[in-house]
Homo-oligomer: A and B are copies of this chain.
Amino acid sequence: MTADPKAPRPRLTDVAEIAGVSMKTVSNVINGYVHVTEATRTRVQAAIEEVGYRPNLSARNLARGRAGVIALVVPRLEMPYFASLAGRVIEKAEARGWFVLIHETGGDLAAERAALEGHFPQRIDGLIVSAQHLTPADVRARGDRTPLVLLGEQDYGHVADHVAIDNVAAARTATEHLLEQGCRRIAMIGARPGEIEDPRAEGYQQALQAADIPVLPELMRPIHGNLGEEGERATQAMLDEVGEPPDGLFAVTDWVALGAIRALQLRGLHVPEDVAVVGFDDIPYARAVTPSLTTVAPDRSAIAEIALRMLEAQSASGETEPVDESVPFELLVRESSARRTGSGRSSA
C-alpha cells in the first residue's frame, strides 16, 4: 500500500510498465481523454493506485508550455475578506491543477500597477486582481497579455473581465433594511469622493429616494482606504459637523463599520438603540463583536469559480470581448440593526 519512502517517486513510465500499456495511454487516462477502452482505463487506474503515482507538475507544465500558476493580487491577506476569498480561489484552482501565487500590494497604487504588468518573480498563466486604486485607464494602458480578471466593487467599464456582486442592489438592500428598522436619517460611511463611479453610494441613494427621504451630503462621508481607523475618523468628523446624529449608518465594509461603531460609542451613542448599523463583507468578526454586525455577505465561492472560468476562457480563446458578471449576495441581519426587537440576541 504505502510506498517505500526511500524509493524514487514513481513515474509515468512505471505506471505504463505495470499496466502493460504505453505512456501515451496512461497520459490519456490521467488527463481524461476519450478513446480509451473501459478495461484499459481500469487497469491503468489500478497501476496508478498501486504505486501511488502523482504526476510531476513541473514536467507537465514544461511540456505544455504553461507555468501552472495564477497570481491572486489583493491589498492585504490579513483582511479577512481577502483571506477567505483567497481560500476559495485556492480551492477552485486546485481542482484545475493550478497553483495560486498570492501577492499583497498593501493597497499601494504603484504595486497594483506593477502586478497588472505581470511583474512577478516567475511566469504566470493568469492574473486575478482585487485592487483599491487601479483605474480603467491603468488597465487599458496595460502592456501585458496575460489573461486578467478584475474583482471588486469598482466599475472598470468593460476594459477587462470583471466579476463582483451587484453592488448597487446590495447597498440598496442594506439601506432598505435600515429604513424598515424605522431609520429616517441614514448616514453612509465610505462613499467615494465626487467623480468616481460608486455603486454602493448609488444603491444607498436609490433606497432613500424610493422612500422619499432626502439625500444629505453631510451624511455621506468619504474615506481613504477601508480600515477601521478610517471609519472611526470619518464618523467622528460627521458627528462633529452635523447637529443631530444619524439614526442609521451604512458602512462600506465591516471593518469600517466596526470603526464607526467605535466612534458612535465614544460619543455615548448606543448601537442599535440610537443608531442602527449595517456593514458589508461578512468578515468572521462580524458575529464575534458586541453588538454582532448586520452585514451583506457576498458569495465568495461563486466569485472564485467565475474568475477561474474567465481565466480559462481567456487562455483558450485569446482576445475576447470583456465580460462582466454578477454573483449573489445575502443580507445577514444581526444585533447591530435590531431596533424593533432589541432582544440582544444574534439572529445568525
Contacts and interface: CB of A to CB of B under 8 A. Distances in A.
A295 to B, nearest CB: 14
A320 interface: no
Interface stretch (A58-66, A107-115, A191-199, A322-330): A58-66
Contact of A77 (B68, B86, B227, B288): B86
Interface of A: 2, 5-6, 9, 54-59, 61-62, 67-69, 76-80, 82-84, 86-87, 90, 94, 97, 99-102, 104, 121-123, 143-145, 227-229, 255, 258-259, 261-262, 265-266, 284-285, 287-290, 344
Contacts of A259: 288
Which of A58, A83, A104, A290 is packed against the most chain B CB atoms within 10 Å? A58
A29 to B, nearest CB: 17
23 contacts: A5-B144, A5-B145, A55-B122, A56-B67, A56-B123, A57-B58, A57-B122, A57-B123, A58-B67, A62-B62, A77-B77, A77-B83, A78-B83, A78-B84, A79-B80, A83-B83, A87-B104, A97-B121, A100-B102, A229-B287, A258-B285, A258-B288, A259-B288
Given A5-B143, A79-B284, 6 more contacts: A58-B58, A58-B68, A82-B83, A228-B284, A228-B287, A266-B290
A122 B54 contact: yes
